[in-house]
């Protein structure tokens, strides 16, 4: 369950991106960050969400936002996802769920009566000082960039 609130300091994180490069929250000090958590690469809804962010990437950048996606997939799968969909942003591998747990998005889910642990699709907008200024707990995958831009206007 997401327990972080708008106004909270964003938890520090470090992870490997799709190229195997180390990326940390501190790398974005002085910049706005769109940190979105999604369940799995190369699945229908996650692809729709990533492609919506890709298609609106220029508008997000104009608002000063850097974009990072995080899922439990490894860097190799992230690289395939990036290449297949021509994604212009960073994807962090969190196979240990450390980042997911810090942000409260690794939790129990239910599908067709079956309970399991998984990622709660959630997006955090973090300001230049590392403070969470907006949280989307149920992003609309097909229109996610539009709802982010509207909220920041």
Residues with catalytic roles: 46
Asked if residue 111 lies in contact with residue 99, where contact means CB atoms within 8 angstroms, the answer is: no
3-state secondary structure (DSSP) of residue 10: coil
Q: Scanning the structure block, which residue is given the tokens 């300001």? A: 127
**138 dihedral zone (left: phi>0; alpha: psi -120 to 50; beta):** beta
**Beta bridge mates, 46:** none
Other beta carbons less than 10 A from residue 19's beta carbon? 12
């Amino acid at each position: 369950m997401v327990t972080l609130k708008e106004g909270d300091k964003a938890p520090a994180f470090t992870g490997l991106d799709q190229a195997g490069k180390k990326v940390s929250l501190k790398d974005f000090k002085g910049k706005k960050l769109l940190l979105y958590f999604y369940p799995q690469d190369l699945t229908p809804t996650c692809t729709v969400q990533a492609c919506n962010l890709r298609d609106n990437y220029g508008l997000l950048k104009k608002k000063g936002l850097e974009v990072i996606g995080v899922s439990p997939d490894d860097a190799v799968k992230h690289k395939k996802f990036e290449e297949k969909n021509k994604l212009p942003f960073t994807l962090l591998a969190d196979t240990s769920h450390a980042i997911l747990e810090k942000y409260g998005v690794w939790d129990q889910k239910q599908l067709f009566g079956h309970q399991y642990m998984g990622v709660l699709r959630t997006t955090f907008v973090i300001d230049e000082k590392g403070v969470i200024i907006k949280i989307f707990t149920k992003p609309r995958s097909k229109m996610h960039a539009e709802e982010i831009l509207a909220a920041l206007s």
